Amino acid sequence: MKIKYLYFALSALFVCSCAGDNKEKPNVSVDNPGECVFSKSFVQNFIDVKTLSLHKEKDNSISVYMYGDNFTADTNAEKYQNYCEKYGDTDLNMYMSSPSDAVVNDFRSIHVYSNEKCIDDELIVKFSSCKEFIKSHYTIPEGLVHSGVSVLDVNSAYVFYEKPLNCITENDLLLSNSHYSIVFKSEPTNKKMEIKVEMISSDGRTIFETKWLNF
């Protein structure tokens, strides 16, 4: 076991030393077979949300999935770099355990309607955001170390929010991920509802989706 551990440690050291002076650092495989990608920015995919998709889960929560235009260093380098600079996400320079994303709509608000009646005060919304991690200049909450290679645990860099929907602020929604969960504070009295989720972005666009859901 000692020989095997030494082999992995020396292999990881060799990978790091070879990549040390190369700005285009390659993927690195650690003793866990998963691959870790080196990135100078935390967000690897910025999403300009265009549409929403609603799904009712078994626990009666509503999942809200966001889709739109994706901007990465590979698909649209200029636009991607503009977003990195806008949000101050330019010098992470670490290996990351998995891909990361954030929406760029800078949403001002989110509202939910049932049969055309606003029910924000009946709901709790759950989502994650990476804005605090970037704002702190990448203060690492908890890192993963594999065979001597320091790898950022991407999930630990997101702050989890769970708040009454009618208490959500514009600042809360900044650089959020693209999946929200909406939960009723108490069991819905109506077993079938036409649910509308509406999100308003900083440029005034209203993005919404309406769907009949059975509870």
- 32 has pLDDT over 90: no
Between residues 189 and 102, the one the model is more confident about: 102
* Strand (E) or helix (H) holding 16: helix 2-19
Between residues 16 and 148, the one the model is more confident about: 148
- 138 has pLDDT over 60: yes
Rounded CA gap, 144 and 124, in Å? 32
Q: 111: which strand partners?
A: 198
Q: Which pLDDT score is estimated for 76?
A: 92
Between residues 13 and 97, the one the model is more confident about: 97
Q: And the tokens for 196?
A: 């509308």
Q: Looking at residues 34-48, what average pLDDT do you find?
A: 89
- Close Cβ partners of 13 (under 8 Å, ≥ 6 residues apart): 148
Q: Looking at residues 23-52, what average pLDDT do you find?
A: 72
Where along the chain do its domains lie?
Answer: 2-214
- 23 has pLDDT over 60: no
pTM, 2 dp:
0.80
Nearest C-alpha neighbor of 130 from the set 104, 109, 108, 111: 104
pLDDT tens digits for range 45-55: 999 999 999 99
| pLDDT, the chain, mean | 84
| pLDDT band at residue 10 using 50, 70 and 90 as cut-offs | very low
Q: And the tokens for 163?
A: 């708040």
- 22 has pLDDT over 90: no
Q: Looking at residues 23-35, what average pLDDT do you find?
A: 43
Q: Looking at residues 164-173, what average pLDDT do you find?
A: 96
- 185 has pLDDT over 50: yes
